[in-house]
Amino acid sequence: MKTALRTCPLCETSCGLRLTLDDDDSVVRVEGDKDDPFSKGFLCPKGAALGRLDEDPDRLTQPLMRVDGQLRPASWEEAFDEVHRGLNATMAAHGRDAVALYFGNPTFHTMAGFLYRQPLTQVLGSRNVYSASTVDQMPKHVASGLMFGDPMAVAVPDLDRTDYMLILGANPVESNGSLCVAPDFKGRLRAVQERGGKVVVVDPRRTRTAELADEHLFIHPGTDAGLLFGIVHTLFAEDLVSVDVEVTGLDELRSLARDFAPETVERACGVPAATIVRLARELAAAPSASVYARIGTCTAEFGATASWLVDVINVLTGNLDRPGGVMFAKTAGLEIFRSGQPFATGAWRSRVRGLPEVLGEFPVATMADEMETPGEGQIRALLTVGGNPALSAPGAPRLARALSGLDFMVCVDPYLNETTRHANVILPPPRILQSPHFDFLVQIIMVRNYARFSPPVLPLREDQYSEAAILAKLLLVLAGQGPDSDPAGGEEMLLGQLLAAAPGLREILDGADGTERILDALLRLGSYGLSLEAMRQAPHGLDLGPLLPRLPEILCTASGKVDLAPPTLAADVPRLLRRLRGPVPEMVLIGRRHLRSNNSWMHNVAPLVGGSNRCTLHVHPRDVARFGLGERARVRSAAGELEVPVEVTETVMPGVVSLPHGWGHEDTGQTVARRHAGVNANALTDELVVDPVSGNAVFNGVPVRVLPV
């Protein structure tokens, strides 16, 4: 038996874990690491099942390669030769835009995913870059970028000090939090209440977070921007505005808000005007307050507008950049990536639908268009790293068909699944416990500054590649250096870029491999002057202190002030008004997340599926009666139709049905997931409807008809 310390890589929360392994290197116990200064022993059922997930016998242990139409085991050499051949054939015949990249959710957490994403994008030089960001948080980046100048400047609730928290479209008690890293979110919310504060949840479902809250308000899906504007209107109308940071656009904002009196928005939102007025007063009166919104508001038609108004309210109530309000974390290794240039979107536009580039990406919602529409720049080959867009993208069945029509596809993924089954080559990363972990990106969104490094628990076998080595090889293939080059050359490309400004560092860099040396460089160049050795000395993680005010360091708008009424967002306000004045849709679809799940890829672990984690349609009893539903229902949208088991529940508001995503498993050799197939919610979501400002997909508020079977 041996024990190992390890950060859980499965979600943003980054809990410290203590693993016990037997002599065969099998994980026999997972506990929360009580000595971790941030997570203090917290873990969730997914973290507890980390060993089962890691040792899943259905994970790929060697590359698969398509031969005569069939995916068959191949050596790494054969696999890289084929990747080299396939990608270069496409680039030679059709140019670099013909190769697309897709980065899925896990690449936001793995070291390799973080380190190689930008270099791969740069070296490929294709406009067809896509990521899970545009099915998730892109509206927040756009809002932050336009208001603060920096799209990565995401203001997080100062959860441990706030006196009032307004939560919209997030269910952190089950999701464990997103764009707000706070292990034991539930305990921290209870602590708000215990110190006399208040928690209000706005959600079309009475979630576990809503149950815990002091107040829960149902809202018609897709209308949060209206509700938030109603609050802004009230703050101005009642003279409750108290701004204490430098701003521009206050007058424009006031005039934009004029049309959004609470009485005007109440019908569309389904929240009484008097309640909206009271929320505004409470936010203004609280000693400190934070407005926090997530997936429910982002993956919606007015995602960017809602994200903007969240921080507008935080500014207007004097709560931006002060303890107890919303604040900016200070990362240990990312500061050098800040460009200092004011953010803008639309430097180029997508070929088929003319959608603006945002952060150098096109929306996932238009990936199928770009694959199916002939002409120069048509996508003919795809490299995915850790993603399952055949389940996760809007209008997913169409995208899956488009994948099957590609000339060539490479996937870096540990599973054969609904997406990778279309690949010509699958390159599997090693086990989680064989990989190092340092969660770069989540440092931006922590409620307390903190860092933790986990070296690999288990060594690589001779015949394995680390994920960093796989991506380094792909980088070299795209750079034209052939399939046989040493991955160390790819690592050197990264290090060379990083050290351009500090060449002297190279002599003293420390680390077992290129990835560790790059981490060492980033830590040394970072805000706290840390190093790899400092992280090794703190195996339980390093507390870097509470969030501190730092707006002046963050701001990089052209005016040098917080822009309260960015023109791009102001220009979209008439569209919101039209929506709010229009009819309330009779029936709409939203999503939901289960505690023991994570998007599409944890349904092959027996302890995580079944029970409450099932793919059912939540329907209010009134709607069950109204539509005469039995055990199953047919759900029809503009995009498609599904038949699904009905779960009658009063936790969802009338006029709304809820279906989780990540299901619809095909028979790809995942033996457990196959028995819990479920249906693909994204057969109902419409890729043709996006938030036009951010290009983000719309998963919530999809008009549907619900029919008996």
Binding site for ligand MGD (CB under 6 A): 11, 104-106, 110, 132, 135-136, 168-172, 174-176, 178, 202-205, 207, 219, 221-222, 224, 294-297, 299-300, 385-389, 392, 412-415, 417, 429, 467, 590-595, 597-601, 661-662, 681-682, 685, 699-701
The candidate with the shortest Cα–Cα distance to 238, out of 268, 203, 282, is 282
Q: What is the dihedral of CA 356, 153, 475, 414, to 10 degrees?
A: -100
What residues between 477 and 506 interact with ligand SF4 by CB under 6 A? none
**Among residues 27, 36, 47, 139, which is the contact residue for ligand SF4, using CB under 6 A?**
47
What residues between 134 and 193 interact with Mo ion by CB under 5 A? 136
Smallest gap from Cβ 9 to ligand SF4, in A, equals 7
Please identify, using beta-carbon distances, which residue of 13 and 616 lies nearer to ligand SF4.
13
Q: Which residue is nearest to ligand SF4 (CB)?
A: 47
Q: How far apart are CA 317 and CA 265, in angstroms?
A: 21
- Hey, how many other C-beta atoms are within 10 angstroms of the C-beta on 641? 13
3-state DSSP: the chain helix, strand, coil percent, rounded to 5? 35, 20, 45
Helix locations, 12-62, DSSP H: 45-48, 50-54
Instruction: Pick the stretch among 39-47, 77-85, 297-305, 395-403 that binds ligand SF4 (CB under 6 A).
Output: 39-47
Per-residue CA distances from 297 to 249, 300, 672 (Å):
24, 6, 33
Smallest gap from Cβ 358 to Mo ion, in A, equals 16
Under 8 Å between Cβ of 97 and 128: yes
Q: How far apart are CA 659 and CA 615, in angstroms?
A: 7
3-state secondary structure of 624: helix
Please identify, using beta-carbon distances, which residue of 176 and 613 lies nearer to ligand SF4.
176
Q: Which does 14 bind (CB under 5 to 8 A by kind): ligand SF4, ligand MGD, Mo ion, none?
A: ligand SF4
- Residue 196 has phi, psi (to 5 degrees) of 90, 5
Smallest gap from Cβ 446 to ligand MGD, in A, equals 15
Smallest gap from Cβ 45 to ligand SF4, in A, equals 7
Under 8 Å between Cβ of 3 and 16: no
Q: What is the dihedral of CA 253, 258, 261, 267, to 10 degrees?
A: -90
Under 8 Å between Cβ of 639 and 652: no
Smallest gap from Cβ 529 to ligand MGD, in A, equals 30
The candidate with the shortest Cα–Cα distance to 618, out of 204, 217, 201, 136, is 204
Please identify, using beta-carbon distances, which residue of 317 and 597 lies nearer to Mo ion.
597
Smallest gap from Cβ 14 to ligand MGD, in A, equals 12
DSSP annotation of 335:
G
**Among residues 10, 91, 155, 312, which is the contact residue for ligand SF4, using CB under 6 A?**
10
Smallest gap from Cβ 597 to ligand SF4, in A, equals 10
Under 8 Å between Cβ of 331 and 527: yes
3-state secondary structure of 334: coil
CA angle 15, 528, 315 (to 5 degrees): 75
Smallest gap from Cβ 544 to ligand SF4, in A, equals 18
Please identify, using beta-carbon distances, which residue of 516 and 686 lies nearer to ligand MGD.
686
- 557 counts as binding ligand SF4 under rule CB under 6 A: no
**Among residues 6, 18, 46, 473, which is the contact residue for ligand SF4, using CB under 6 A?**
46
3-state secondary structure of 362: coil
DSSP annotation of 607:
G
Q: Which does 10 bind (CB under 5 to 8 A by kind): Mo ion, ligand SF4, ligand MGD, none?
A: ligand SF4
Q: How far apart are CA 665 and CA 667, in angstroms?
A: 7
Instruction: Pick the stretch among 38-46, 274-282, 328-336, 645-653 that binds ligand SF4 (CB under 6 A).
Output: 38-46
Q: How far apart are CA 169 and CA 159, in angstroms?
A: 17
Please identify, using beta-carbon distances, which residue of 33 and 136 lies nearer to Mo ion.
136
Q: Which does 224 bind (CB under 5 to 8 A by kind): ligand SF4, ligand MGD, Mo ion, none?
A: ligand MGD
Please identify, using beta-carbon distances, which residue of 329 and 589 lies nearer to ligand SF4.
329
Q: Which does 47 bind (CB under 5 to 8 A by kind): Mo ion, ligand MGD, ligand SF4, none?
A: ligand SF4
Q: Which does 416 bind (CB under 5 to 8 A by kind): ligand SF4, ligand MGD, Mo ion, none?
A: none
Smallest gap from Cβ 586 to Mo ion, in A, equals 29
Smallest gap from Cβ 230 to ligand MGD, in A, equals 13
- For residue 620, give the amino acid letter: H
What residues between 156 and 195 interact with ligand SF4 by CB under 6 A? 176
Smallest gap from Cβ 695 to ligand MGD, in A, equals 14
Please identify, using beta-carbon distances, which residue of 12 and 370 lies nearer to Mo ion.
12
What residues between 424 and 483 interact with Mo ion by CB under 5 A? none
- Hey, how many other C-beta atoms are within 10 angstroms of the C-beta on 118? 13
Per-residue CA distances from 19 to 2, 6, 8, 43, 47 (Å):
8, 7, 10, 12, 10
Instruction: Pick the stretch among 40-48, 138-146, 432-440, 461-469 that binds ligand SF4 (CB under 6 A).
Output: 40-48
Smallest gap from Cβ 331 to Mo ion, in A, equals 20
Smallest gap from Cβ 53 to Mo ion, in A, equals 18
3-state secondary structure of 281: helix
Q: Which does 43 bind (CB under 5 to 8 A by kind): Mo ion, ligand MGD, ligand SF4, none?
A: ligand SF4
List of residues 6+ apart from 367 with CB closer than 8 A: 100, 102, 128, 130, 379, 389, 393, 399, 402
**Among residues 11, 289, 295, 312, which is the contact residue for ligand SF4, using CB under 6 A?**
11
Name the site residues for Mo ion (rule: CB under 5 A). Answer: 136
Name the site residues for ligand SF4 (rule: CB under 6 A). Answer: 8, 10-11, 13-15, 43-44, 46-47, 176
